[in-house]
Structure 1
Amino acid sequence: MKKYYAERKGLIKENLQMDLYEVLSFFYQTYMYFANKGYFKSAISGVWTGSYDNERQILPPSLAPSAEVFFTTKLQSKTVYPIYEYYESYQEETLFTVIEILYDHIAYYDYEADELIKEEPKKEFCEQINNILKLYKKGYYLEPKNGFIMEMPNEALKEQLAYDGNDMGDAVYKQLCTASEMYYRFDSNEEMKKKAINILADILESVREDVKNVLNSEYQINKNEHDRLIFDVVNSYNIRHNNGKQKTDYSKEIWYDWMMQYYTSTIITYHRLKKKHEFVF
């Protein structure tokens, strides 16, 4: 979004911080902005066409079988939907889950094009919600590619998460997205993070020999150097195995971040190089 004068010139010296009550108020105003535009109509009531006397439902509601049932079962609570009735009592985990659900289901039907438009509303929803989330506590972020809420990432991590997978197959990209969501979600615990790293290690394991050759295609070192760095970590630091030889006395909250970002970068780099050299040769 456009940066105005004070922000552009770096004149805002203190970052505003809001408590949960304030965030809930801002969230509701944002939700109503999109609801009034009809961006949740297809999710709640489906898409209808035809005259008043001859209506035909062409798309069922995506919040099936009803919005009330959907929110109640997903959050195991009867005090979530309707949003206007319960939003003021939301706890942090309820608010974040509701936001993720709204992201998944925001859309509008373009009758002229005869299609359900999703990407444009998702993008706008992320922009508006992120303006609020960044002010809460140390800052949160609705990731616009997969729609999960995480703590505010740095720019390098944002670029990783924005990767569209156009250099790899759908199956691998789906695994990559699953691992990212599992690791970076706001409520992810140590075990979930460990499993996410395992997913990435399994991706690399399935193409282990090819990874050696592709990574060595432009950077000539012993082929086993990359391999040793990649697999010694997950095989020796209680990630994939659980035995007496494993190293467990280390700062997992720090090193897991390194492992996750390193393996993600390695997978993306491998597929980009592979595509480039297949094209060249």
Structure 2
Amino acid sequence: MGATRRGQPGWSGSVQRVIRCDTRLVASYYSQRLGRGPLANPSLQDVARVLTLAVNEMQRLEYLQEWFGKDCVDNPDDLGKSAMPLVDYIEVETGRRNAWPIAEDFGPKLAEEFEPSLQPWEDELFDLMEFFFLHVSAGVTGDFHNYNGCGWHYEVFDPGPARQRFRDRLNRTLSSYGDGFRLSNEGRVERTAETGLDELLDTPIRTKDPAIAERVAGAVALFRNRNRSPDDLRNAVRNTFDALEKMRPEIKVHMMKGDEGALFEIANKYTVRHLDAKQRGEYDSALWHSWMFYVNLSTIHLMTRTISREDARR
């Protein structure tokens, strides 16, 4: 039997197909909640495996069709919007040659032989995650080709459902990898906050002052940076203190005098805003700077909401 074409037997008319993807996943299973099991402390190999499984699922669901085409007997040269094979487009976009599919011995074996750390292989994996996030989309409308089980040829796509499903597949493992990571709503691999505090970092600051908004955004970006250094963390804390300093007149009005004084005593007596001999530096900066960051960010949210409410009353 010869190949069929649109308008001939084997093709249905243009229809709309509504994609409903149930992306509600269990946050963590029993063993993971107890700090045991394969997802409790995943290795780089585990992360590579999860990425492979997630991309395979995207391919089965036709979520890569928009960018990389569809394997069809009627149009074997369909390469989608990329106009080139997947492995070549990855190289064009990321500079990484022959990065897909991921080799079974990816990471640890290569690192032990050639590199002192896993950082280069981690960078490659995270680049691939961000790449695929940007290039998945769910088909919405198109034609159904029933010849040889070909399936849907979409013309209109919606990236939202596909990106959400892709994130869900990866984040359960990423959250327990190393110090904790996530693929954000914007498709960036970044550090996670302590359990229950991601929402604090994601919530927009309620302020009309661009200086405060800029300081807070910079602080959160530094804190989330997956390659964050101790200095980055200290600078994130310093940015939050700068934002609080900008609001200090309002803080004096709305906070108890002792609380306001204690807040800025931390800022000025520890090695955050100043580095002279008067500052105290004999503390675990990773722990205490994280604590200062969360406290300051919570205070900024409290004060900006209080100020906004008072403005509305006036």
Q: TM-score with structure 1 length normalisation?
A: 0.69
Residues 280 and 179 of structure 1: CA distance in aligned 2, closer, same or farther (over 3 Å): same
Aligned mate of 1:189, from 207, 226, 229: 229
Contact 2:181 2:226 in 1 (8 A): no
Aligned mate of 2:216, from 144, 157, 176: 176
Where does residue 248 of structure 1 map in the other structure?
281
Q: Which moved more, 1:167-176 or 1:189-198?
A: 167-176
Where does residue 263 of structure 1 map in the other structure?
296
CA distance in 2, matches of 1:99, 1:170: 35
1:183-215 per-position Cα deviation (integer Å, ceiling 9, x unaligned): 2333211011111112212222222212322xx
Where does residue 23 of structure 1 map in the other structure?
47
Q: TM-score with structure 2 length normalisation?
A: 0.63
Alignment of 1:153 onto 2:194: yes
Runs of 5+ consecutive residues of structure 1 not aligned to the other structure: 46-51, 61-65, 73-77
- Residue type of the partner of 2:248? R
Corresponding residue SS for 1:95: helix
CA distance in 2, matches of 1:203, 1:117: 38
Paired residues, what number? 251
- Residue type of the partner of 2:266? V
Q: Which has the higher helix share?
A: 1
Aligned mate of 1:89, from 102, 106, 118: 106
Greater Rg over alpha carbons, structure: 2
- Residue type of the partner of 1:24? A
Residues 104 and 149 of structure 1: CA distance in aligned 2, closer, same or farther (over 3 Å): farther
Corresponding residue SS for 1:183: helix
Aligned mate of 1:125, from 163, 166, 184: 166
Residues 106 and 258 of structure 1: CA distance in aligned 2, closer, same or farther (over 3 Å): farther
- Residue type of the partner of 1:16? G
Contact 2:52 2:102 in 1 (8 A): no
The alpha carbon displacement at 1:175 in A equals 4.0
Corresponding residue SS for 1:248: coil
Residues 119 and 241 of structure 1: CA distance in aligned 2, closer, same or farther (over 3 Å): farther
1:96-115 per-position Cα deviation (integer Å, ceiling 9, x unaligned): 34324544665568679x99
Q: Which has the higher contact order (CA 8 A, sep 6+)?
A: 2
Corresponding residue SS for 1:273: helix
Where does residue 15 of structure 2 map in the other structure?
none
Runs of 5+ consecutive residues of structure 2 not aligned to the other structure: 1-23, 69-74, 84-88, 108-120, 143-154
The alpha carbon displacement at 1:256 in A equals 0.6
Contact 2:234 2:289 in 1 (8 A): yes
Q: Which moved more, 1:83-92 or 1:191-200?
A: 83-92
CA distance in 2, matches of 1:104, 1:237: 42
CA distance in 2, matches of 1:144, 1:89: 24
CA distance in 1, matches of 2:65, 2:252: 51
1:154-197 per-position Cα deviation (integer Å, ceiling 9, x unaligned): 11x1221231x162349444543432231233321101111111
Residues 135 and 208 of structure 1: CA distance in aligned 2, closer, same or farther (over 3 Å): closer
Where does residue 68 of structure 1 map in the other structure?
91
Alignment of 1:98 onto 2:121: no
The alpha carbon displacement at 1:128 in A equals 1.3
Residues 226 and 102 of structure 1: CA distance in aligned 2, closer, same or farther (over 3 Å): farther
The alpha carbon displacement at 1:83 in A equals 2.9
Residues 7 and 175 of structure 1: CA distance in aligned 2, closer, same or farther (over 3 Å): same
CA distance in 2, matches of 1:194, 1:234: 11
Corresponding residue SS for 1:89: coil
The alpha carbon displacement at 1:145 in A equals 4.7
CA distance in 1, matches of 2:308, 2:47: 44
Where does residue 63 of structure 1 map in the other structure?
none
- Residue type of the partner of 1:207? M
